[in-house]
Structure formats: C-alpha cells, structure tokens
Structure 1
Amino acid sequence: MKDVDVNPDEESPYECFECGTIVLSTDAPGTCPDCAGPMRNRRTPIE
C-alpha cells in the first residue's frame, strides 16, 4: 500500500448512512444535520 500524504486541515466528504446527505468538513460531524443519522467518512472504505 502506498503512503498517502494526510493533510488534517483538508476537507473530507462525510455521508449519512440514513438519508445520504453529504457534508464537507475538516472534522467528523458525528450526526447528520438533516436527520441526525450516523455519518461516515467517504474516503474510508467499508469492508
């Protein structure tokens, strides 16, 4: 696996598991602003 330069100040896309809302944020938003569902970082693969 390649080493990836991580820039913590870079915005990442977060997607809601419940409604699919996508939010760009530098920090994990925790819950969806629309439905309060759980969010995931879209750059992290789901296994």
Structure 2
Amino acid sequence: MKDISLNPDEESTYECFDCGTVVRAAAPESCPDCGADMRNRQTPIE
C-alpha cells in the first residue's frame, strides 16, 4: 500500500457509514442525507 498525503482543503470522496451516500467535498461534518459520520474513501478501514 502506498502512503497518501492528505490535504484537508482538497476535495475527496467521502462515504456515509450508515446510509452509504457518497459525496465529493473538502471535509464534510456529517452526511447531508441522514446526519451520520462520513469517512474518506481514500483512507483504508482497518
């Protein structure tokens, strides 16, 4: 796996943990559909 340098001001793809909504944004606070937490899809889940 390669290291990824993340820039918080750069738009990335985020996915909602609860409903699966996918958005492209700089750093969403919460899901625009259900309000749950979002994860950056470039960051692996361990």
* TM-score tier after normalising by the smaller chain length: 0.7 to 0.9
What are structure 1's unaligned runs of at least 5 residues?
none
Q: CA deviation at 1:10?
A: 3.5
* Runs of 4+ residues over 3 Å off in structure 1: 1-4, 6-10
Q: Which residue of 1 aligns with 2:25?
A: 25
Q: CA deviation at 1:11?
A: 1.8
What are structure 2's unaligned runs of at least 5 residues?
none
> In structure 2, how many angstroms separate the alpha carbons of the residues matched to 1:38 and 1:20?
10
Q: What is the identity percentage for the equivalent residue pairs of Structure 1 and Structure 2?
A: 64
Q: Which residue of 2 aligns with 1:42?
A: 41
Count of aligned positions: 45
Larger C-alpha radius of gyration, 1 or 2? 1
* TM-score between both structures, scaled by the size of structure 1: 0.75
